[in-house]
Amino acid sequence: MATAIPLDARIYVAGHAGVAGSAIVRRLQREGFSHLIVRRRADVDLNDQSAVAMLFRTTGPEYLVLAAGRVGGIAANMAAPVEFLVQNLAIQSNVLLSYLEAALRKTVFLGLHPVPDNGKLERLAQTILAFIERPSAAGFPG
């Protein structure tokens, strides 16, 4: 059975500035988590494996929420689908590889399509928190 995450756990939220990532960060802050690790794109390029590995070494996250990715809207995605796919796969691969090398306790990986923000993202953040703490409580196998 999974145990609750300590409020002082080091949680890296990749993609914290995006729509989903920012909703997750707000929720974690409201829940009282005090050691969130966030980095701007200008500070760490998630397309660069060595930069991601350095981030993990220097910050020592215990948990990961992967909500990062290149976005541009439906028209941009339709105009350059291969470029978006390749860049997002690189980001995901780099972050997940560092996650595996660092042997973190748990990760949550989001692959989202654009959705209107009518409360769905807040519910998503709540579901993610439930999953982090107790996978079976969020409807996932424990």
pLDDT tens-digit profile of 44-57?
Answer: 999 999 999 999 99
Structure confidence at residue 87 (pLDDT): 87
Contact 33, 125 (CB under 8 A): no
Question: Residue 103: which of 58, 57, 68 has the closest Cα?
Answer: 57
Q: Is residue 18 in some structural domain?
A: yes
Beta bridge partners of 10: 35
Q: Average of pLDDT values for 89-104?
A: 86
pLDDT tens-digit profile of 60-85?
Answer: 999 888 899 888 877 887 788 788 88
Mean pLDDT of all residues belonging to the chain: 79
Q: Is residue 2 in some structural domain?
A: no
Distance CA 88, CA 11 (A): 21
Confidence of residue 136 (pLDDT cuts 50, 70, 90): very low
Q: Is residue 3 in some structural domain?
A: no
Enumerate residues 6+ apart whose C-beta is below 8 A from 56: 12, 98, 99, 101, 102
Task: Quote the domain boundaries for residue 89.
Answer: 10-138
Q: Is residue 112 in some structural domain?
A: yes
Q: Is residue 104 in some structural domain?
A: yes
pLDDT tens-digit profile of 109-121?
Answer: 665 444 445 555 5
Contact 62, 104 (CB under 8 A): yes
Enumerate residues 6+ apart whose C-beta is below 8 A from 65: 11, 12, 13, 14, 15, 21, 24, 107, 108, 110, 128, 132
Beta bridge partners of 14: 66
Give the total number of structural domains in the chain: 1
| Amino acid in the structure at residue 103 | A
Contact 109, 92 (CB under 8 A): yes
Contact 27, 123 (CB under 8 A): no
Structure confidence at residue 85 (pLDDT): 82
Q: Is residue 1 in some structural domain?
A: no
Question: Domain of 16: which CATH number?
Answer: 3.40.50.720
